Chains A and B, each alone.
Chain A
Amino acid sequence: MKLVIGIVRPEKANDVLEALYKCEVSGLSISRVQGHGGELDRVQTYRGTTVKMELSDKVRFDIAVSDDFVDPTINALCEGARTGEVGDGKIFVLPLERAVRIRTGETDKAAVTPVGA
């Protein structure tokens, strides 16, 4: 059981979702985050004030999956989020100690397996 965290471009978030649904990963959370991963900074000007934007908008996926689903999830994130330019994002895989489905009290693998799967 792993927690897969994917940080991707906002404009690729829909492609990632599509790729995840295709490999039957349907339990996930997303949040809007700001970050910096070495891509080029953008210069913006507001009246006399010129700034460079060090942080870019990104979308973060948090996906808890059973071991069989770790590779398909990573592949889907890569496939959906890749443009080939700096700033496509990162994937982090963390071990997961415990998971509980609140509605039923199911734990671990049962909790991260979608209903009906």
Chain B
Amino acid sequence: MPPGIDTGDTAWMMTATALVLLMTVGLGLFYAGLVRAKNTLNTFMMSIAALGVVTISWALIGYSLAFGDGSGFIGNFDYAFLKDVGFEPYGETTIPQVVFFCFQGSFCIITAALVSGAVVERMRFLPYLGFIALWSIFVYPVMAHWVFGGGFLAADGTLDFAGGVPVEMGSGFSALAAAIVVGRRLDYGRQALLPHNTVFVLLGAGLLWFGWFGFNGGSGIGTGQNSVLAFINTLLCPACTLVTWFLLDLVRGRQVTAVGAATAIIVGCVGITPAGGYISPGWAMALGVIAALPSYAVIVWRPRTRVDETLDVLAAHGIAGFTGILFIGFFAQADWNGISDGLVYGESALLGDQALAALVAPLYAFSATFILLSVMAFAFRLRVTERDEAVGLDVMQHGEEAYVTGEGAILVEPDGARDRNMFVTNPI
């Protein structure tokens, strides 16, 4: 290994990368449980697809646009097609750049998959693939460059430990734009559209929390104090959000709900994402309580609007990420993070930097995604037909069902001349 590589840091970052990759599968499960049974596979596949499509975008150009030197706004083409991505450490880090590339790529993958929550149950699969391929070139790398790749927010002094800007506000406000461009489901507002498997939802949320220890714990790009601080905060903050959510549920409906609990875990993990390595464990617990409030309010309010942002990516990620980013401005503590104090500890400059991030991230994510999808809508039909939407996207888009019994299924001999006449419908 070249000099400057720390084996302990490298070992942890390889592990953390694998943990983050599992989050995308957990997210697929979480989303699949929240939709109707007829759209289970399509919804799950939207997350699985990101593992393939976005990884390729990331290797070809996304990584370079995020982490090449470039300008304050966007990187350059220095690392395009993996050029010069080798065993040498990236920048100040102590791990080989190949590992750094994988770790950062896993972030882009899950962020793209998160956006799918806004368009499930009606978007065609092929345009969706095109969308996430382009989104992971034009939207995510730009925002990642701002905070991780030496862009203008990082230069200003904005603190964003694990991606409140590119991942959380990036996905949340992109989701809002995507929901508006693609439009609401036919049955939205007319029928009750209920989660079909709440066990999936809980298990998915649990897997996400598990993976989030790699997501936040790895965002110090090593095993330093900020990383271990983020690790404990990733335990404490979501726990507080979870219990706060119980109380909010009790006040509102006199019962503690399971879908609410799963949502709370996500909201807590998102809230601590930007702040993990910068605030004390005590303040992380406070953040857990505070982050629950605005996200809960948006989740209650959103279904009364005409915007079918189906799986509430905006509330769970956009709003909670916004809360976390601003929270750092007040409660960051140099004693814990070794970098800067927030307003409460006598330093007012940081709050301004955090507010700037909280302003530009939603603006860019929303407008870039809105423009991207609107342009795509000229060239492609983004939605399935009304009939296909009624029958379900599993059968109509993939030719499979999640819960098939096999009753009435007649085996078709492959390529048999006799059987070709049996295809009384066009293969889908």
Contact = CB atoms under 8 A, between A and B. Distances in A.
- On whether the two chains bind one another, the answer is yes
Interface string A49-73: 1111111000000000000000000
A54 B409 CA distance: 6
A52 B412 contact: yes
Contacts of A85: 387
Given A50-B414, A54-B409, A41 B424 contact: yes
Contacts of B422: 41, 52
Given A11-B390, A50-B414, A83-B387, A42 B409 contact: no
A44 interface: yes
A59 to B, nearest CB: 13
A42 B425 contact: yes
Contacts of B390: 9, 11-12
B425 A51 contact: no
Contact of A43 (B191, B401, B404, B412): B412
Contacts of B401: 44
A104 interface: no
Interface size class on chain A is 20 to 34
Contact of B425 (A40, A48, A83): A40
Interface in B109-163: none
A11 B427 contact: no
B92 interface: no
Contact of B428 (A12, A43, A51, A83): A43
Interface in A75-100: 83, 85
B371 interface: no
B388 to A, nearest CB: 11
Interface in A13-43: 14, 34, 36, 40-43
A8 to B, nearest CB: 12
Contacts of B412: 43, 50-52
A41 B411 CA distance: 12
Nearest to B399: A44
A9 B242 CA distance: 40
Interface in B389-424: 390-392, 395, 399-401, 404, 407-412, 414, 422-424
B428 to A, nearest CB: 7
Contacts of A46: 400
Given A43-B425, A44-B400, 11 more contacts: A9-B390, A14-B187, A41-B424, A42-B399, A43-B423, A50-B411, A50-B414, A51-B409, A51-B410, A52-B410, A52-B412
Ranked nearest first, the 6 interchain pairs of A and B with the lowest CB-CB distance are A55-B408, A40-B425, A11-B390, A51-B409, A54-B408, A50-B412
